[in-house]
Each structure stands twice: as C-alpha cells, then as structure tokens.
Amino acid sequence: MFDALYLEKTDAGFSATRRSLSEDELKNATPDADVTLRVEYSALNYKDALALTNRSPVVRRWPMVPGIDGAGIVEESTHAGFAPGDRVILNGWGVGETHWGCLAQRARLRGDWLVPLPDGLDTRRAMAIGTAGYTAMLCVMMLQRQGVTPAQGEILVTGAAGGVGSVAVALLARLGYRVVASTGRRSEEAYLRGLGASEILDRAELSQPGKPLQKERWAGVVDAVGSHTLANACAQTRYRGTVTACGLAQGMDFPASVAPFILRGVKLIGVDSVMCPIEDRREAWSRLARELDHDALERITQVVGLDDALRLAPELLAGNVRGRTAVDVNR
C-alpha cells in the first residue's frame, strides 16, 4: 500500500482526499505504463491547484491521482532506456490529467516521458524547480534562439513572484540580462531584488486595457499572465523583440492588435511544457542543473507534505503563494 492524493467526482460531488492505494489499483489504472517509480518528491503547480480544487476541468478522467511533476527512483522497468535504481524526472504528458500522477508515493509512467536526473540536481531540487522552473527555462531558451542578448535591452517578467516568474528572474539575471519584474505584491520587492531583478513594476501598469502600440521598452518578455498583461507587453516590445507566453493567470483572452507584429516585427512565441519534445526537455534540465543558482532556488522554495498540498491549493490560485512549492510525498 502507498499514500496518494485522490480525486473523485460522483453524483454526490467532488472530493480531494489523502488515502492509501494498493499496487493492484495503480497497475489497473495505468495499463500502458512500463516504468514503476518510487516517488520521492512532487510539486504543487498552478495546474495541480486547479485539479485539487476542481476550479477548472483539468482532470479528464476519474478517479484521478493528481501531480503533473515527479522525481524519484525507478523500481521496475520494461523500457529499454531505464533500469531499476535510475533517478528520473517527470513533467507533463497529461499526467495528473488523463494518467495517474505523482502526488503519491508510487507512480507508473511511460519511459518515453522520463528525463534522467542530471548531474548537479537531487530529486528535491528537481521538484523545487518543477514544471514552473522547467517552463521558465524553455522561455529563456526561446528568447536566446531568437537572438535576444543582454546588450539588446531589458527583459520583462510578469507574474514575477510566482513559480515561473521567480525562476525566470533568477535565470535571466544570472545570464546577465537586466530584468524588470512585474508583480501585484509590492511586499515581495526585496525577494525579487534578491533573485536579481533590477526594477519592480506594479502589475497595475500592465493589467488594464491599453493602446495597440505603446512606447517601446522590452527586448524580450516572459509572460505567465496572459490577457491584457500580455497584450500590453506586446505593445511595449521593441522592434523585432520577442515575447514568450506560457501562462494565463489573468485570463485566456488576448485583447490585442496585430500592430506590434506587422509594424514592429515583434515575435510572439507560445511555450508549451506538457508535450514539449524530449530533446528540448533534456536541454532545459541540463541547463537548469548548470545555470540556476542553488542559493536562489532555496530562497524560492518551500517544502511541504501531501496534506499541505491540499491546504495550499486554494492559496496558490489566489496568488498568495510565493515561488515554488515542492512536495515531500513521504510526509
């Protein structure tokens, strides 16, 4: 038997509880899996919080064990790429949505979804980074692939006190970029400056309807917010600058004009972490192991237990959780 968070939806309603499950229940729920993972750490991400509170139709199969992230040790494997004893990372691929996830002490997964834990990281640090940090690195990679360099100007990071934003600020600052951090929590100014932000911008300056074209400022943008914030960020991006979009904390709408794209050549690049090709995943995790300052990661991170994840989910959705939350599934 092993402990897991367990989501059910019946005629009686929705429930999210911690309960004990059997190995047979796990195997019956995941017949297509070829790797059994002893999970050491998972994480609490925005999507996990939506699933745990049933605020959005994230879960598409019931019952469900949530947890889009996991890191641990392979116990059994029929996959050619992994053997018992290997330490691995899992992000996305519909886990926690259509396939039982990693907010549990055991998980059965497909080996094609797994990334070997790179040198320089343990499973705790990997889940302190989690999908949010891995997504932040994908955004940084996209900016760099478009030729955005520190010499070209400032980088805007929206939702900067959240998981994606915190890691993005720390990564970009360490790579030599001048980072402007947008947040609605002015109390987090010292925290964001400690991660390397050069300036703090009140999110109210971006979150309201704005003109289609505004004064040029940003060489690049990492946006985890969407809606008017993303539209204004595009309108303020410099000629041939690049905007990466990876989140929707403010909303899924995009009330914008084509003007920045056809008059300034601004590039808007969507960054998807769920189905991202394995080559980009390996590159992202390898770079995170080398380039993310471990002291900064510790300042970003809190570690909680399974029961705490249930308690914190509504707080995360309300914007009251700073940085990253790793989950020790064995407490």
Residue spans of the domains in the chain: they are 2-117+294-328, 131-270
Q: What is the model's pTM?
A: 0.93
DSSP one-letter string for 4-46: EEEEEEETTEEEEEEEEE-HHHHHHH-TT--EEEEEEEEE--H
Mean pLDDT of the chain: 96
pLDDT of 186 above 90 = no
Answer whether 296's CB lies under 8 Å from 170's CB. yes
Roughly what angle, to the nearest 10 degrees, separates helices 46-53 and 306-317? 100
Architecture of domain 131-270: 3-Layer(aba) Sandwich (3.40)
In angstroms, the CA 248 to CA 224 distance is 6
pLDDT, tens digit, for every residue of 20-60? 999 999 999 999 999 999 999 999 999 999 999 999 889 99
pLDDT, tens digit, for every residue of 55-65? 988 999 999 99
Write the CB contacts of 156 (distance below 8 Å, at least 6 apart in sequence): 180, 182, 201, 217, 218, 220, 221, 222, 223, 233, 236
Range scoring the smallest mean pLDDT among 74-88, 260-274, 287-301: 287-301
Please give the average per-residue pLDDT across 227-241, as a whole number. 98
Residue 319 is predicted with a pLDDT of 85
Residue with tokens 């064990």: 65
Write the CB contacts of 33 (distance below 8 Å, at least 6 apart in sequence): 99, 108, 109, 110
Superfamily of domain 2-117+294-328: Medium-chain alcohol dehydrogenases, catalytic domain (3.90.180.10)
Roughly what angle, to the nearest 10 degrees, separates helices 123-145 and 278-291? 110
In angstroms, the CA 248 to CA 254 distance is 10
Please give the average per-residue pLDDT across 278-284, as a whole number. 97
In angstroms, the CA 25 to CA 85 distance is 23
